[in-house]
């Protein structure tokens, strides 16, 4: 009986590993030339992940596992400090917890958001990068090992802080540079910009001149509440890499000289091209084929190990 129990447990674990049911991995990478403090918030009724906030120095990365039924959002906090009483706070993306961990609190707008619902309709993961709550950090989401016709990269890799209209701009503590860009809803609070009240449907709430600034710069990101058609993406059995400042030239420093446009990646509605931003291996991340081949190889290795273990049990 002990051998039978061990065999059942082992085969169940093997099945879950090969089918990708146990977990989805999120790898967060900081390519900014400044420190980013990622925050994580699970959706209502969804258990929190192993961490809800941490620090990423320039060049660092961190991988987090999430159940395949998880849903929530990631964002980057910037210019964070701790005062003499130990209270932790950030100039942008602050979650108001007073600590490094956000512990169930969301980002204070404006903040660039990566939003996920894993294992949704048809077993697909649904994800997007949203500027509905404004923008603070360039962000790219790249699915790895997934499949599906709409399984592709999305994000906002342009530095919008430099191009942000003055009425939406959030300045640094020393008022020398823009560090974030508010949404029109956050800045003005009117139903027309917030898609509320009489403007609370897709038919009545249309893109504004402000949301179109976001959309022109970042065609695949959500620019306002009903921007679904060009901004939601789906994958089956994928892991995800979330990169802050994916292009070398997208950083807060680019906003210091607004008269000199930074050399940002060129995006359009059909494809996402990154001019001079990635080496060839990074570009290949945006394709599902290489990741799928890797996943298939991992499955073959797992099966081979299972066969060997079975031979020891019999």
How many other β-carbons are positioned within 10 Å of the β-carbon of residue 255? 23
> pLDDT above 70 covers what percent of the chain?
72
Whether 123 contacts 151, CB under 8 Å: no
Nearest CA to 285 out of 158, 151, 157, 159 is that of 151
Q: Is residue 307 situated within a structural domain?
A: no
CA distances from 12 to 21, 69, 251 (A): 11, 18, 46
Residue 57's pLDDT is: 98
Residue 226: other Cβ atoms inside 10 A: 19
The H or E element containing residue 75 is strand 71-82
Q: Are 278 and 286 in contact (CB under 8 A)?
A: no
How far is residue 53 CA from its own chain's centroid?
Answer: 14
Q: Is residue 1 part of a domain?
A: no
Cβ atoms of residues 3 and 9 within 8 Å? no
Rounded to 10 degrees, the C-alpha dihedral 246/249/252/257 comes to -160
- The answer to the question of residue 253 being in a domain is yes
Euclidean distance between CA atoms 23 and 221, whole angstroms:
26
Q: Which pTM was predicted?
A: 0.75
* Helices 2-19/288-313 angle, 10° precision: 170
Q: In angstroms, how far apart are the furthest CA atoms of the chain?
A: 75
* Residue 3, domain member (yes or no): no
The 8-class DSSP code of residue 258 comes to T
Lowest-pLDDT range of 73-87, 144-158, 189-203, 281-295: 281-295
- Per-residue pLDDT, averaged over 237-253, amounts to 76
pLDDT of residue 141: 98
Tokens of 171: 């300045």
The rounded distance, in Å, linking the Cα atoms of 232 and 189 is 25
Alpha helix ranges (H) inside 128-276: 160-163, 184-188, 191-194, 209-217
What average pLDDT does the segment 180-199 reach? 96
pLDDT digits (tens, 9 = 90+) for 195-233: 999 999 999 999 999 999 999 999 999 999 999 888 999
pLDDT reported for residue 20:
41
Secondary structure class of 160 (helix, strand, coil): helix
Give how many domains the chain has, as a whole number: 1
Band (309; pLDDT cuts 50, 70, 90): low
Q: Select, from the ranges 2-6, 13-17, 180-184, the one with the highest average predicted confidence (pLDDT).
A: 180-184
Percent of the chain residues past pLDDT 90, beyond the cut: 69
Cα–Cα dist 157/219, whole Å: 10
Q: Is residue 11 part of a domain?
A: no
Q: What is the pLDDT of residue 38?
A: 98
Q: Which domain holds residue 37?
A: 23-300
pLDDT at 298: 44
Looking at residue 121, its pLDDT comes to 94
Question: For residue 290, is pLDDT > 60?
Answer: no
How confident is the model over 8-32, as pLDDT tens digits? 444 444 444 444 456 899 999 999 9
Q: What is the pLDDT of residue 314?
A: 56
Name 77's bridge partners. 37
312 — pLDDT class (breaks 50, 70, 90) = low
> With 70 as the cut, is the pLDDT of residue 270 above it?
no
On whether residue 133 sits in a domain, the answer given is yes
pLDDT at position 186: 96
For range 32-45, the mean pLDDT: 97
With respect to residue 224, please indicate whether it lies within any of the assigned structural domains: yes
Closest to 72 in 3D by CA, of 99, 101, 47: 47
pLDDT, tens digit, 9 for 90 and up, residues 88-137: 999 999 999 999 999 999 999 999 999 999 999 999 999 999 999 999 99
pLDDT, mean over the chain = 80
Say what the pLDDT of residue 229 is: 82
What CATH number is attached to the domain comprising 107?
Answer: 2.60.110.10
Tell me what pLDDT residue 311 has.
Answer: 53
Closest CA to 91 of 51, 36, 164, 19: 36
User: Does 293 have pLDDT greater than 80?
Assistant: no
Q: 117 lies in a domain?
A: yes
């Amino acid at each position: 009986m002990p051998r039978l129990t061990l065999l059942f447990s082992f085969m169940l674990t093997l099945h879950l590993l090969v089918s990708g049911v146990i977990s989805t991995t999120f790898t967060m990478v900081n390519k900014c030339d400044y420190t980013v403090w990622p925050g994580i918030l699970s959706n209502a009724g969804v258990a929190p992940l192993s961490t809800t906030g941490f620090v990423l120095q320039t060049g660092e990365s961190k991988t987090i596992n999430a159940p395949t039924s998880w849903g929530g959002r990631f964002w980057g906090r910037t210019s964070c400090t701790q005062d003499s009483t130990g209270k932790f706070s950030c100039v942008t993306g602050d979650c108001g917890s007073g600590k490094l961990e956000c512990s169930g609190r969301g980002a204070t707008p404006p903040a660039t958001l990566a939003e996920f619902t894993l294992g949704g309709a048809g077993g697909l993961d649904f994800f997007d990068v949203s500027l509905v709550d404004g923008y603070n950090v360039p962000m790219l989401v790249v699915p790895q090992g997934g499949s599906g016709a709409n399984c592709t990269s999305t994000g906002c890799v342009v530095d919008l802080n430099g191009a942000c209209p003055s009425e939406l701009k959030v300045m640094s503590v020393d008022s020398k540079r823009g560090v974030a860009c508010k949404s029109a809803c956050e800045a003005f609070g009117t139903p027309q910009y917030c898609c509320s009240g009489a403007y609370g449907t897709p038919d009545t709430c249309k893109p504004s001149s402000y949301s179109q600034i976001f959309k022109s710069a970042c065609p695949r990101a959500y620019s306002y509440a009903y921007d679904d058609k060009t901004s939601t993406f789906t994958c089956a059995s994928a892991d995800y890499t979330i990169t802050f400042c994916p292009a070398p030239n997208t950083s807060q420093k680019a906003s210091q000289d607004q008269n000199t446009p930074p050399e940002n990646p060129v995006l359009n509605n059909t494809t996402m091209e990154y001019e001079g931003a990635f080496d060839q291996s990074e570009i290949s991340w945006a394709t599902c084929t290489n990741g799928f081949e890797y996943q298939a190889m991992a499955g073959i290795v797992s099966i081979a190990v299972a066969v060997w273990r079975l031979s020891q049990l019999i």
